[in-house]
């Protein structure tokens, strides 16, 4: 079976994005466990404030989806923003 150049590029792009996402998940997980210091990202919990108050990842900031548009101008521009919205980290 021969693949076209377009199919090969699409496959390469898919796996490059998947690897980047897995790496990011690993780095955030290590930081959340206390195994990394001074992250180059900002962890945002986009759940409602009540859920955040009940429990969240240490170091995360509360930024509910409904308020995100208002909060965005105040967030740092020099850090990657990483969001989460559930208990499945």
Tens-digit pLDDT string for the chain (89 aa): 888 999 999 998 898 888 878 878 888 888 888 776 667 888 999 999 999 999 998 889 999 999 999 999 999 999 888 888 875 44
State the pTM of this model.
0.68
Q: Which of 33, 56, 36, 14 is nearest to 22 (CA)?
A: 14
CA 42/CA 66 separation, integer angstroms: 18
61 in helix, strand or coil?
Answer: strand
CB 43 within 8 A of CB 63: no
Q: Is the dihedral of CA 28, 83, 89, 14 positive or negative?
A: negative
For the domain with range 41-89, which CATH number is right: 3.40.50.300, 3.30.70.360, 3.40.50.1440, 3.40.250.10? 3.40.250.10
Consecutive H or E run containing 80: strand 80-84
CA 6/CA 12 separation, integer angstroms: 10
């Amino acid at each position: 079976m021969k693949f076209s150049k377009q199919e090969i590029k699409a496959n390469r792009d898919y796996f490059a994005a998947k690897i980047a996402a897995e790496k990011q998940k690993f780095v955030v997980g290590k930081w959340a466990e206390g195994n990394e210091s001074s992250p180059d990202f900002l962890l945002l919990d986009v759940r409602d404030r009540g859920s955040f108050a009940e429990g969240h990842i240490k170091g995360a900031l509360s930024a509910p989806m409904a308020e995100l548009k208002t909060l965005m101008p105040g967030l740092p521009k020099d850090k990657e923003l990483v969001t989460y919205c559930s208990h499945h980290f």
